[in-house]
């Protein structure tokens, strides 16, 4: 422990130094430009504003780092050139370098290397400024094109492969939890392409008429199968109209006989009687039936009234339907000479001609196309889609390939529907119970129909 006497001696020495410290502080306050080496304090430095763009105005802070970078490139510290030799051949004494700047105000921009962007005040301020040869950040931003985020989203996100369904590709995808995605196979790509064609967005309302000269060859089943396929793939619901003058059964084939009997018995005749009061889709729905997303207008079941639909009345119904549906299918019934047929053909955008593999069915399909071409409907005949349904499963004596080749040359497209009990029974037609080949045939028909809407 130090002796109390030693503590008293230290306190006295400290008191003796206090006057000297106070004198130094007073001198420092009196002359603020002086530097006290003992305390290490530095004088306040006022930034030189002589390099401002306009004299007498303070430098303003840049609104963005790009502007700050451009300002830094425009103004660089001047480098003093080598002094010229004197008249006696000796070089002039070097100019003293300016004192280092202690601090830089926040308003003064600096480049990436930390250099001050304003000119340094030096005796050779009129010397040319030194500029770097490498491109600056502002130049790089100005020269680089802006990416188009809307039309080129793939610049930033890698396109994801579609998920394979079924087959070895689908099994491998499921087993690896999606880690191995080989993409869809050729068959699935064809199916996806058909779906894209069917779901194509349309500008306006279009009508397709399905007709034949012979009954019982798959005309109504084709209307239902294609209508359900359109409803499955399109964003807007399609409408099917039963204009068969012979007590058509379009709604029964789409809903089933039992459900139709329990439903409202409203038909196309009821719609015509109240057509003036229908001013919305809600009001129109009271006269329609629904098989999923397929909306249907039932035909007249009374034989005394069913044949009374005229061309003018059908055109009134077609005009009403065109206000709410972009795709409409019209089951025309058998023949092309009944009362409403003129209005149907006048408003049709394309046709589907139903045919069969029986010799009589193929001949009648050809006769239908010839009749259309000779009665002012050449375009409809040329762009018609012939659908051959193997409904009766004809014997091997019939050369199916020859019939297809015979009809394919006089129409835009020919599509064959294979034999399927879900179609041949003449009862309810649902896509769930049809064979895959039958469903694909209906998809091809639906895609060909939408392709014809131009």
Q: Is the dihedral of CA 335, 341, 345, 347 positive or negative?
A: negative
* Distinct helix (H) and strand (E) counts, the chain: 18, 8
Cα separation values, 8 from 1, 4, 13, 357, Å: 14, 6, 9, 130
Return the C-alpha torsion angle 441, 444, 449, 450, nearest 10: 140
376 in the Ramachandran plot: left (φ > 0), alpha (ψ -120 to 50) or beta? left
386 in the Ramachandran plot: left (φ > 0), alpha (ψ -120 to 50) or beta? beta
Q: Is the dihedral of CA 162, 416, 208, 230 positive or negative?
A: negative
The DSSP bridge pattern shows strands 385-389 and 413-417 to be parallel
Q: Of the candidates 144, 179, 152, which has an alpha carbon nearest to the alpha carbon of residue 163?
A: 179
Q: Note the pLDDT of residue 408.
A: 83
How far is it, in rounded angstroms, from Cα 287 to Cα 295? 10
Q: Of the candidates 329, 394, 328, which has an alpha carbon nearest to the alpha carbon of residue 355?
A: 394
How far is it, in rounded angstroms, from Cα 222 to Cα 226? 6
Specify whether the CB–CB gap between 330 and 342 falls below 8 A. Answer: no
How far is it, in rounded angstroms, from Cα 42 to Cα 87? 42
CA-based end-to-end distance of the chain = 110
Specify whether the CB–CB gap between 450 and 443 falls below 8 A. Answer: no
Return the bridge partners of 208, or none.
329, 350
Q: Note the pLDDT of residue 279.
A: 92
Residue with tokens 């660089």: 76
Overall pTM surpassing 0.75 (yes/no): no
* Strand arrangement of the beta sheet that strand 413-417 belongs to: 289-291, 294-297, 239-242, 327-334, 206-212, 350-356, 385-389, 413-417
**Tens digit of pLDDT per residue, the chain (454 long)?**
455 555 555 555 555 555 555 555 555 555 554 444 444 444 544 445 444 444 444 445 555 666 766 776 665 554 445 555 544 444 455 544 454 444 444 444 444 444 444 444 444 445 555 555 666 666 666 666 666 656 665 566 677 778 788 778 878 888 888 788 887 878 888 888 999 999 999 999 999 999 988 777 889 999 999 999 999 999 999 999 999 887 788 999 999 876 766 666 788 999 999 999 999 999 999 999 999 999 999 988 776 676 678 999 999 999 999 999 999 999 997 878 888 899 999 999 999 999 988 777 788 888 889 999 999 999 999 999 999 998 877 777 788 888 888 888 889 999 999 999 888 877 889 999 999 999 999 999 999 999 999 8
Cα separation values, 316 from 275, 310, 328, 340, 347, Å: 8, 10, 14, 11, 11
Residues in the chain: 454
Q: Of the candidates 242, 234, 245, which has an alpha carbon nearest to the alpha carbon of residue 296?
A: 242
């Amino acid at each position: 422990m130090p002796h109390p006497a030693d503590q008293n001696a230290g306190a006295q020495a400290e008191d003796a130094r206090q006057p000297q410290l106070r004198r130094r502080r007073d001198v420092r306050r009196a002359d603020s430009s002086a530097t006290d080496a003992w305390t290490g304090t530095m004088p306040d430095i006022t930034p030189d504003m002589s390099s401002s763009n306009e004299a007498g105005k303070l430098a303003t802070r840049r609104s963005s780092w790009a502007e700050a970078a451009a300002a830094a490139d425009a103004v660089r510290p001047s480098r003093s050139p080598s002094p010229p030799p004197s008249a006696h051949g000796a070089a002039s004494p070097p100019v003293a370098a300016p004192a280092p700047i202690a601090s830089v105000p926040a308003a003064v921009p600096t480049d990436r290397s930390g250099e001050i962007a304003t000119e340094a005040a030096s005796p050779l301020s009129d010397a040319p400024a030194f500029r770097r040869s490498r491109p600056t950040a502002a130049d790089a931003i100005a020269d680089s094109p802006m990416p188009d985020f809307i039309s080129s989203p793939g610049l930033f996100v890698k396109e994801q492969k579609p998920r394979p369904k079924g087959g070895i590709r689908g099994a491998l995808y499921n087993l690896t939890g999606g880690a191995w995605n080989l993409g869809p196979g050729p068959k699935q790509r064809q199916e996806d392409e058909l779906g894209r064609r069917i779901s194509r967005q349309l500008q306006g309302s279009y009508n397709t008429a399905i007709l034949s000269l012979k009954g019982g060859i798959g005309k109504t089943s084709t209307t239902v199968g294609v209508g359900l396929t359109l409803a499955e793939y399109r964003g807007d619901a399609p409408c099917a109209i039963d204009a068969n003058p012979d007590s058509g059964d379009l709604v029964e084939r789409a809903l089933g006989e039992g459900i139709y009997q329990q439903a409202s018995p409203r038909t196309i005749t009821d719609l015509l009687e109240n057509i003036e009061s229908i001013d919305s889709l809600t009001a129109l729905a009271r006269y329609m039936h629904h098989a999923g997303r397929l909306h249907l207008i039932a035909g007249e079941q009374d034989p005394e009234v069913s044949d009374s639909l005229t061309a003018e009345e059908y055109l009134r119904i077609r005009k009403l339907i065109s206000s709410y549906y972009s795709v409409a299918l019209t089951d025309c019934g058998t023949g092309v000479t009944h009362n409403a047929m003129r209005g149907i053909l006048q408003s049709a955008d394309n046709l589907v001609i139903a045919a069969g593999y029986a010799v009589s069915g193929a001949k009648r399909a050809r006769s239908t196309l010839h009749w259309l071409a000779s009665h002012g409907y050449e375009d409809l005949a040329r762009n018609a889609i012939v659908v051959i349904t193997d409904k009766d499963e004809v014997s091997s004596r019939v050369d199916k390939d020859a019939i297809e080749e015979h009809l394919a040359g006089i129409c835009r497209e020919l599509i064959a529907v294979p034999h399927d009990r879900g179609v041949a029974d003449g009862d309810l037609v649902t896509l769930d119970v049809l064979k895959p080949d039958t469903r694909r045939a209906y998809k091809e028909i639906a895609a060909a129909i939408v392709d014809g809407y131009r």
